[in-house]
Amino acid sequence: MSVELDELDARILNLMQADASIALNDLADQVASSRSAVWRRLQKLEEAGVIKQHTVLLEPEKVGLGVLVFAQVKMQVHSRDSLPNFIEKVRNFPEVIECHTLMGDIDFILKIRVRDVQAYEEFFWNRLSQIDGIREISSSIALTAVKNTTQLMVTAKG
C-alpha cells in the first residue's frame, strides 16, 4: 500500500537516495525547510516503512565480485513444498543478491554476483542446481551495465 507523499517528502527522498549520508542541516537547506521539520518528516517516513534502511553501496569489481549473472529458473512442478523449499535455499546463498518470482514461462529470476566465471560454475553445479524441484536453469552473464541504479523516481501525489 502506498503512502501519500507531498512535494517536501519527494524532495527529501530523492536527495536521500542520492546520498544517505547527507547532513540533516544540508538536507534542510537543499529542500528549503527547517532542520526540525525535515527530521520529523524523516521519522514519519521511516515509521511508515517508506524508508526501508540506510545502507552503503559497494562497487562490486573493487571488492572482487566482477561477474554478474542472471539465472532464469523453471521448476518441475509448483507443489506446496517445492516453491517454499527453493525460496528458503536461495535466501541462504550470499551469491544471490536478488530473487524474484515471475509470471509466465520462467518461475524465478536470480541476480547473482561472483568473483569470476569459475566461481559461478562452482556455485551452479554444487549449490544452485542441487535444489530439489528445479527443471531448468538458463544463465546469462552481463557484459556491460548500461544503467544500474537503486534510485526510485519519487513524486508527490496529487
Q: What are phi and psi of 121, to 5 degrees?
A: -60, -45
Task: Determine the pLDDT at residue 100.
Answer: 98
Task: Determine the pLDDT at residue 78.
Answer: 81
CA-nearest of 69, 146, 147, 157 to 113 is 69
Helix (H, G, I), strand (E, B) or coil at 80: coil
60-141 domain in CATH 3.90.1150.10? no
Nearby residues of 8 by Cβ (< 8 Å), 6 or more positions away: 31, 33, 37, 41
Q: pLDDT tens digit string along 33-69? A: 999 999 999 999 999 999 999 999 999 999 999 999 9
Task: Determine the pLDDT at residue 158.
Answer: 66
7-47 CATH, one of 3.30.1330.10, 1.10.940.10, 1.10.10.10, 3.30.365.10: 1.10.10.10
Q: How far is CA 102 from CA 48, 73, 79, 107, in A?
A: 27, 10, 16, 5
Mean pLDDT, the chain, whole residue set: 95
CB 131 within 8 A of CB 73: no
DSSP 92-116: T-TTEEEEEE-SSS-SEEEEEEESS
CB 100 within 8 A of CB 119: no
**DSSP 8-state code for residue 16:** H
Q: How far apart are alpha carbons 68 and 145 in whole angstroms?
A: 10
Q: pLDDT tens digit string along 77-116? A: 887 788 899 999 999 999 999 999 999 999 999 999 999 9
Q: Is the pLDDT of residue 2 over 80?
A: yes
Tell me the domain boundaries of the chain. Answer: 7-47, 60-141
The percent of residues above 70 in pLDDT, for the chain, comes to 99
Q: How confident is the model at residue 153 (pLDDT cuts 50, 70, 90)?
A: very high
